[in-house]
Amino acid sequence: MKKAVIATSILAAMVSTSSLAATVYKDDSSELKIGGRAEARFNISDNNEKYDDSGEKTDSAFDDKSRARLSISGDTKITDSLTGFGKYENEVSDSTDIKTRYLFGGIGTKIGDFSYGKQDTALVMITDFTDTMATFGADADGAMNDIVRAGADKQENNFAYSGAFGGLTVGANYLAGEDADSDQYAIAGKYSLDFGLDLAVGYAGGKQDNVDVNQVDVGAQYAISNFTFGALYEWTSSDDDTVGDNDGLEFSAQYKLDQWTFVGVYNYATTNDGEDDAVDNVAVEAVYKFNKNLRTYAGYKFEMIDDQDDQVQAGIRYDF
């Protein structure tokens, strides 16, 4: 192994919001990048309609979901075997809603990267297999994120480790809960085979308001020619009788044709100890990339739960 940081590929993913992040400063030991996106998008669904107490409609089926993101990231060489890095990324959806997506710093070593702050958990390497859409998707994984936070993305108070060793990628994280008896942790591993197959498994557990919670994720992804297929099974459990044991399934299929990408996903999850369907839908979308900076997309979600209506979402996105 070279004396540079081992987990170069992991670090690159952590410190860039897109492959278009521009280097604004660089010297022999340090580099600073700025990137982001401007994304004008909208959603149309009867789910968006609202009514006042008299039954008069106050909100229509049209809902603007436009947003912008700005990411600042950098790294600096400390010694031949140590690197420091950090990232800040926010998202603005209107004049009053500014959300911090990532805010972390860390040290890269020969055995991997150690970081602290608001960042993804270890199980994201598995859920990314099926979180593939610009419009919808990843609904089954999100059904229990409020309970098992250590299995979700973008978590605060997050001590994280990631390392790459040949075809094996490993990750672990510990969430220090600010509320009493709410610490959680996770560990995951992914193995990439030479013929395009990735296999991964992960576990998250701990306490949520002094209640024991657990989550197991098993995922696979296979790429062949212009096709990519992903699958995720997620089992969650809680000692809280109102939550109990629940299952989640996600499947994703992508096909790339020149500047087009066509995606289809299926999401299913239970709630209330498996008694009810929390998620049950199919979504399809088409994405057209004009070039590396500009893309447009449109998607349709078919809801299969009685009190949920179908959705249409479309947008145009500029990356910088």
- Residues 151-206 have pLDDT tens digits of 999 999 999 999 999 999 999 999 998 888 899 999 999 999 999 999 999 999 99
Percent of the residues in the chain that have a pLDDT greater than 70, as a whole number: 94
**Quick one: DSSP state of residue 292?**
S
Residue 140 sits at φ, ψ, to 5 deg, of -65, -45
Between CA 2 and CA 311 the distance in angstroms is: 50
Helix, strand, coil shares of the chain, percent, nearest 5, are 5, 60, 30
Give the CA diameter of the chain.
70
25-84 confidence digits (pLDDT tens): 999 999 999 999 999 999 999 999 988 888 888 889 999 999 999 999 999 999 999 999
- How sure is the predictor about 100, in pLDDT bands with cuts at 50, 70 and 90? very high
- Going by C-beta distance under 8 Å and a sequence separation of 6 or more, which residues neighbour residue 164? 6, 7, 9, 10, 112, 170
| Degrees, nearest 5: CA angle 103-107-110 | 140
- How sure is the predictor about 95, in pLDDT bands with cuts at 50, 70 and 90? low
pLDDT in the model for residue 144: 86
239-279 confidence digits (pLDDT tens): 988 889 999 999 999 999 999 999 999 999 999 998 899 99
Model pTM score: 0.90
Asked whether residue 12 carries a pLDDT value surpassing 80, the answer given is no
Which of 2.40.160.10, 3.30.70.20, 3.40.50.2000, 3.40.190.10 is the CATH number of 8-319?
2.40.160.10
Q: What residue spans define the domains of the chain? A: 8-319
Residue 270 host element (H or E): strand 260-271
Q: How many CB atoms lie within 10 A of CB 186?
A: 28
197-218 confidence digits (pLDDT tens): 999 999 999 998 889 999 999 9
Q: Which string of DSSP letters, residue by residue, matches 130-181? A: T---SSS--HHHHTTTTT-GGGSSSEEEEEEEEEEETTEEEEEEEE--SSTT
